Amino acid sequence: MTAPAQPRATPPRSDPAPLARRVAAQARYEALTMLRNGEQLLLLVILPLMALVALTLTDLLDASVPAGASRVDVAVPGVLALCVLSNAFSGQGIQTGFDRRYGVLRFLSTTPLGRGGLIAGKLLAIVAVLAVQYVLVAALGAALGWRPDPAAVLVSVPVLLLGAAAFTGLGLLLAGTVRAEATLAVTNLVWVLLAAVGGTLFPSRTLPESLAWLVDLLPSGALGSALRETFLTGAPSLLPVLVLAVWASAAWAGAVRWFRWS
Amino acid sequence: MPVQSPPASSPALAIERLVKQFPVRRRRRGPDRTADAVQAVDGLSLTARHGEITALLGPNGAGKTTTLECAQGLQRPSAGTVRLLGRDPWRADPDLRARVGVMLQDGGLPQAVRPLELLRHVASLYRSPRDMGELVERLGINSFDRTVVRRLSGGQRQRVALAAALAGSPEVLFLDEPSAGMDPQSRNIVFDLVQQLRREGVCIILTTHLLDDAQRLADQVYIVDHGRVMAQGSVAELVAPGADAPAVLALTLAPEQLDAGPFPWEGPGFEDVRASRSGRTVTLTGPLTPALLEAVTRWFTATGTLPESLSLQPRTLEDVFLDISGREIR
């Protein structure tokens, strides 16, 4: 309809897609971008699966295997903790860092997606990638003789999500405050350090006494022990869950406070 | 619940006395640490309407991009008001954002995806997106669709960014330096499309430091420098010769004339004529009168040689810009 005072046409009004569809579209896009990137795929899937094979076939974990359990029972929870680190911290940290550097965050925040939808999409993408990682690790674990208690599998889900919350907060905090190249370097270095001595693949008890208590207070160590306790005893103890909750709250508070979109 | 649109006759974008300061954090610590601020935009007012192309023209650092960012809801104004489709862009909801398309200066494109994949994703954020196939063909994007964004040329990226900005068929389209990095062919394609969008009633707001862009496209030009509007109007209005804004007399002197001064425009009666010389080219502005032209031609008779060229020209936007700001615009 054209008003008489307006000789030129006004274009028809454009509407946003519903919120759920916008967020789902962003999650799908983020997850596929991550899984299709060669370096990311190495970090997300290939290295954790190689670690699982190595830890199951060698005697590295033997000192940590409790009576009645096998190596793979100790290896799988550690590898799952490493998957969270790869995905929520390194993967999304690097992706967000470069998106920020190239103005993608600014562009998407002008679309109907907006800043809130963008963050929601990223969180959902992390969960989706984590589901893929879990399925692959569990399948390879099963092939190596892993037979978890179904109840423990159920309990592991909220533990993994709590760990993902802590590492996403840390990843976004880093990606939103330093240059993209610095984010890339730091996340990769931290990944290697935490995989080796951060209490993920190897329980903190295997480390020297003076380091063990420190590692227990790291989000990586807390997530590693919470997952090992879940699968070996049926439930995590309070301390690692508390440590993860504190890290998650602090990291998210910092990200909300200091994250820069440009 | 959709909010009632303002009447169609009201401007699509209205900026009034916009001020934007950025804090500058001094590295120095201690008691004499001062909290300085850079004034990027300093009381700028602007109106842009549907079916018109409004250009912000000015040198780099003039405050054009910051003004656009305040209008797009990417920056919060320090003072003044911005109304985009009758609403405050800083508090834009998805309904408002769906009606506005943005092409950022740096493109804002992820680097590791192929163009079509990205455009399909952006389109999925709208309820009834534009037919991207047609747009992709029109902008020639299908010819490089197998290439990831990282490996595209500047002009190709600009075309993808434009397509992304148009995915939702916006009523208002922001283009920040649309011809940056574009070859002439890309520029023609993009400008044709922009002109078609104008005919369809889209309000287009663009920034440029290229006079040619503004001259070719803009219905309304705002010449911006130091965060302020230095002049505004249509290109025709801005270049129109007025009492203090006459045409230009351009001469290219023959080599032997260079030392044959004094030049006629240095003589009595022409004190207000401004002459600028670059090599053998002399440009005269100011009150150009038949008497001046006569004095010039009489001088050629006296020297016994013709100049290589002599012409009276209408003012260009560049002359206007130089008059106003005294600065080269590049």
Q: Is the pLDDT of residue A4 over 50?
A: no
Chain B hits for A108, Cβ within 8 Å: 108
Least confident of A106-120, A231-245, B26-40: B26-40
B161 with B181: CB under 8 angstroms?
no
Amino acid at B164: A
The residue to which tokens 């976004």 are assigned: A172
Contact A13 B94 (CB under 8 A): no
pTM (whole model) above 0.80: yes
Nearest by CB to residue A110, choosing from B7, B100, B110, is B100
Average pLDDT over residues A33-51: 95
Chain A hits for B123, Cβ within 8 Å: none
pLDDT of residue B256: 81
Chain A hits for B169, Cβ within 8 Å: 11-12, 14
Nearest by CB to residue A25, choosing from B124, B128, B171, is B124
Q: How many residues does chain B have?
A: 330
**Interface check B1 vs A, CB under 8 A:** no
**Interface check B116 vs A, CB under 8 A:** no
Chain A hits for B201, Cβ within 8 Å: 8-11
Q: Is the pLDDT of residue B239 over 90?
A: no
Mind listing the pLDDT tens digit for each residue in A87-100? 999 999 999 999 99
Three-state DSSP at B188 gives helix
Strands B281-285 and B248-252: what pairing?
A: antiparallel
Q: How many residues does chain A have?
A: 262
Mind listing the pLDDT tens digit for each residue in B261-295? 788 888 888 888 888 888 888 888 777 788 888 88
DSSP track, chain A: ---TT--SPPPPPP-BPPHHHHHHHHHHHHHHHHHHSHHHHIIIIIHHHHHHHHHHHSSTTGGGPPTT--HHHHHHHHHHHHHHIIIIIIIHHHHHHHHHHTTHHHHHHHSTTHHHHHHHHHHHHHHHHHHHHHHHHHHHHHHTT----HHHHHHHHHHHHHHHHHHHHHHHHHHTTS-HHHHHHHHHHHHHHHHHHSSSSS-GGGS-HHHHHHHHTSHHHHHHHHHHHHHHHSS--HHHHHHHHHHHHHHHHHHHHH----
Report the sign of the C-alpha dihedral through residues B71, B76, B81, B85, in that order: positive
How near does any CA of chain B get to the CA of A130, in Å? Answer: 21
Element (H, E) at B10: none
pLDDT of residue B302: 86
A173 with A254: CB under 8 angstroms?
yes
Contacts of A59 (CB under 8 A, 6+ apart): A71
B161 with A111: CB under 8 angstroms?
no
